[in-house]
Structure 1
Amino acid sequence: MSSAGVEAEALRRWAPGLVPLEEGIWTVAERSAAVSYPEDGHVRCRQVEDDSFWFQHRNRCITQVVSAWPPKGPLVDMGGGNGYVAAGLRAAGFPSVVVEPGLGGARQARARGLAPVVCATLEEVGFRPRSLPALGFFDVIEHVEDDARLLTRAWELLEDGGRLYLTVPAFGWLWAEDDVVAGHFRRYTQATLCELLQRTGFAVDFASYLFAPLPLPLWLLRALPSRLGWRSPDAVRERQDLEHGARGGLAAAALRAMLSMEQAWLRGGRRLPLGTSLLVAAHVEGR
């Protein structure tokens, strides 16, 4: 059976109440949940993610960690946006289903060739309890006001020993206007995130910061100007292409080389003590 066939069959078991919305996209009969994410966020991400050093490095590190702590079945990429992570996981041999609340993001994921795609929130989908082999929240839980409630719900939906993978923005001292524009409620440290996971029923297998070269540049170019009132929402949007390295150049090439060394360091389960993002793998402990 093809990867898409495996994912579709699993989805029918997990959430039998889904209804077709359009070709390859499923949803629920009634939707009501609000989402803290900019309306044009998926379009702006789609414009940069394929050429962005940030998206590329995050994907490689996610795939590396999923390979080291693999799930026992298809992974649900919750808040999966345009399907960039799910496409990378599928290419690495891990069947993945995008669940994305925004119709624009769901359509972008479908346009990548991903199917089935679900347009709904985690609460709306109606997954059966203890049915999911794995869940991914890749830069998602910082958009949710009650992150503990979300993780408790994830614990309820994952099967015994089910895997949870997360990425989140790191360090409150890096908070900037960019976080406001993105709809973030917070940034995390390794200690606060691991404590939250343990409190909601998970055992942490791996936790490391990512993007070790970036804390000082982000503090100087984002956090400090934001505190001084020099970085407006319009400036954030205008500089997105440049800051993601979508235009290339020597600086972007040098950064990619450093991040390649970072990826090699993380291989084999080694950790980094500093970075602008956090990557965590965890699992449901015995109930």
Structure 2
Amino acid sequence: MRHQKQMSNLPISNLPISLSPIEIIRPDAPRGPFRRALFDFDGTVSLIRQGWPEVMVAAMLDILRRDLPSNGTDMAHFCADLVARTTGQPILAQMTCLADEIARRGGTPGDPRAYKQHYLARLRQNIQHRLTALEQNPRRADSLLVPGVVDFLAALQSRGIPCDLLSGTDRADVVAEARLLGVDRFFEAIYGPEDGTPGFSKQQAIDHILHQNGLAGPELVAFGDGPVETANVAAVGGLAVGVASNEAERQGIDAGKRRRLIRSGAHLIIPDFRAWAALLEFLGLNS
């Protein structure tokens, strides 16, 4: 069952669930009661790093040209597929996957930590102007947030639903960028890999959140635009809401994200949080 009709004379935030842009993928979606909410950061809350997949593909191509002899493979397609498959994993894990592939294909892989630094240097060139603009004028934060997310976070907070952030981006960067965007106040905890410390996984963080807060899986709702957190939350019985955000346009659905999220087990698909009131209704939190 899918609900995608809209009414032009009714604000989207006030649309009932039957008329909202919420797409119900799985009729077995948990319906709560929900006691805690979990959010991915990049592409779900923040748009500061919009364009990072393309930057990572370019960085990987740099590395492949150096460390892997030409073998006729379409390297651009290979890198894009690798990035898509590993979205949501820690950056170091993504670069370890790249090193493993280089070795498997007969190349001589370098240190994944050096690969990570090469990518981050490229990324900083791409996003530094956004960070500088935010530091100089915090009012610009709205244009670097997924639409509706602040209203939705505020609504959850007012209803006593604690929220956490979980990201594959280094935790120190998430903390700094959440503060710049003014959304750090909504989150009780921020989980992410510590720079230089291997072994972080979203699954372990989710298990920790459930255990620490005495939650059963179906009492957790999670919002994310990557396949990792989507699959992890669905696996523990939580409600996995896929945020198929079109980051460049700040409206509409990214078809590639939608496909990957559905394949990973998303119960619902949303483009953003503009229909936050309908989301609250679905979650049983509209009163």
TM-score range with shorter-chain normalisation? Answer: 0.3 to 0.5
| TM-score (structure 2 length as normaliser) | 0.35
Higher strand share: 1
Larger Cα-atom Rg: 2
| TM-score (structure 1 length as normaliser) | 0.35
Structure number with higher relative contact order (C-alpha < 8 Å, ≥ 6 residues apart): 2
